[in-house]
Amino acid sequence: MKTNATTARMILVSGVLALYGSGVAAQTPDRSKKPDLGPVQQLTLPAVQQFALPNGLKVLVMEKRELPLVQLSLLIDAGTVREDAAAAGIANMTADMLDEGAAGKTALEIADAFEALGARFSVGGGLHTTTASLRVPVERLTPALQQMAEVVLQPSFPEEELDRLRKDRVTRLIRMHDQPQAIAASLFSSTLFGSQHPYGRNSIGTEQSLDAMSTAQLRAFYDRYYRPNNATVIVVGDLSAADARKAVEQAFGNWKRAEVPAVQLASAAQVKGRTIYIVDKPGSAQSVIQFGRIGVPRSTRDYYALEIMNTILGGSFTSRLNQNLRETHGYAYGASSGFDYRPIAGPWVAASNVQTVSTGPAISEFMNELRAIRQPIPQEEFERARNFLAMRFPQGFQSVAGIAGRLSDVVLYGLPADYFNRYTQNVLAVTKADVERVAREYIDPENVAIFVVGDRKAIEEQVRAQNLGEVRFLTVTDVLGPVPQ
């Protein structure tokens, strides 16, 4: 026999279900049209506060009080663009060696010290900057920041760690000979920018440059570029600008400034005509396809229009390239395109990995889409891409690490401090005519380099059948050089 309480619960549930059922019947949704998206919400972030320490170290602070965490990123203008071609890889190696030994501690002791504080620390080199990043609970910021300062300011560059990292990089160079994606990327960069340009080189170096690399070279590079007047600190988290200044000054206030040589980067010449480069990779089940041109610097006035245009072409899952090669023809798992914005013009690329038997037809479909984007764009497609960019923008500001990463763009590209709060309105201000204009100006399928890494015996006839221009054949050794010993 059921208890009174059980009976009451059954009656209550029955009533709720009856009420729900009547509500569903009375409110049948209208599926004859898509629901309205509603207005695009503006992103409003706290103001970015900026100041500089007496030694020239610039500081950007944004308060984010929801969680007791702090993200601190130190950006040093000591990237690959600072190195000579003969010393390729030295910037990347210097960055990686910072936490391999510092202030009398070994790499393991450094890692243990950060772990004991509940902190995450990393350091790495890029094209333009070396970045040291720290994320830590706010109550442990002071000791963690002191530990970070020891790593950045007192590296010991131990010889045995350099030997280990050198062997690791040589191993990576060996593996590249068997990685079609790496082969294509290397040929792409060196062809568009030239092997003497920082954008055209492998950031980890060559067998020769690695073999010649010494701790004395690392120390010289470090002393030349690792200076407070050549760096910026970004602080995001649960503390005020005054507290951030106090913490940064305590950790980095004694860092000695010095004159830092200026760097001059030449812009690469635009691609003229259309050439297809085929790298033979016998037995490959797929072909790596990349279309390339010189793009634009981040400072371009057409940035927002280009972002919308590329969203339509290859910058989203519903883009034309992806829908064509993946959904319509099934040639590939995905296809994309994009501008790699840098302080000077970086590359534009459209790419996909396709089945070997579909190499020629896939190249043809790339050409079709590159030509089609230069034609009038339907209003609905334009509005969908514009709204997509505007509505997804806030998702990059959900964490302190995400915000710090975004603020890195402000530093690297000299963007205004209110850039993020104005992003949405700038996107929504772009017109369809703007997008169509930049498509015609920057997407030029008649002047483009086409790179294919795949099985020549299986793809040569397919590629030639497209009749797109001169075809040049290379071996993996032509691209990467002999396999390192």
Amino acid identity, residue 2?
K
In a domain, 172, yes or no: yes
Angle 126-132-135 from CA coordinates, rounded to 5°? 130
Number of domains in the chain: 2
Tell me: do 88 and 233 sit in the same domain. yes
Tell me: do 91 and 219 sit in the same domain. yes
In a domain, 19, yes or no: no
Tell me: do 189 and 335 sit in the same domain. no
CA distance 152 to 222: 10
Tell me: do 315 and 460 sit in the same domain. yes
Which residues in the chain land under pLDDT 70?
1-27, 29, 34-41
Q: Rg for the chain (alpha carbons), in Å?
A: 27
CA distance 94 to 247: 26
Please tell me the predicted confidence (pLDDT) of residue 40.
66
Please tell me the predicted confidence (pLDDT) of residue 396.
86
Please tell me the predicted confidence (pLDDT) of residue 34.
67
Tell me: do 248 and 332 sit in the same domain. no
Per-residue model confidence as pLDDT tens digits over 274-309: 999 999 999 999 999 999 999 999 999 999 999 999
In a domain, 437, yes or no: yes
Please tell me the predicted confidence (pLDDT) of residue 108.
97
Please tell me the predicted confidence (pLDDT) of residue 35.
66
User: Under a CB-based contact definition with an 8 Å cutoff, are residues 480 and 312 in contact?
Assistant: no
* Domain end among 220, 252, 284: 252
Tell me: do 241 and 287 sit in the same domain. no
In a domain, 10, yes or no: no
In a domain, 34, yes or no: no
Tell me: do 209 and 72 sit in the same domain. yes
User: Under a CB-based contact definition with an 8 Å cutoff, are residues 85 and 212 in contact?
Assistant: no
Q: Can you tell me whether residue 340 is helix, strand or coil?
A: coil
3-state helix, strand, coil in the chain (%, to 5): 50, 20, 30
Amino acid identity, residue 96?
D
Tell me: do 242 and 310 sit in the same domain. no
Report the CATH number at residue 384. Answer: 3.30.830.10
User: Under a CB-based contact definition with an 8 Å cutoff, are residues 245 and 63 in contact?
Assistant: no
Please tell me the predicted confidence (pLDDT) of residue 417.
82
In a domain, 227, yes or no: yes
Neighbours of 10 (CB within 10 A): 11
CA distance 111 to 107: 6
Please tell me the predicted confidence (pLDDT) of residue 32.
72
Please tell me the predicted confidence (pLDDT) of residue 31.
73
Tell me: do 357 and 474 sit in the same domain. yes
Tell me: do 102 and 227 sit in the same domain. yes
* Domain end among 184, 219, 252: 252
Tell me: do 233 and 299 sit in the same domain. no
* Domain end among 188, 221, 252: 252
* Residue range(s) defining the domain that contains residue 108: 49-252
In a domain, 268, yes or no: no
In a domain, 266, yes or no: no
Tell me: do 178 and 305 sit in the same domain. no
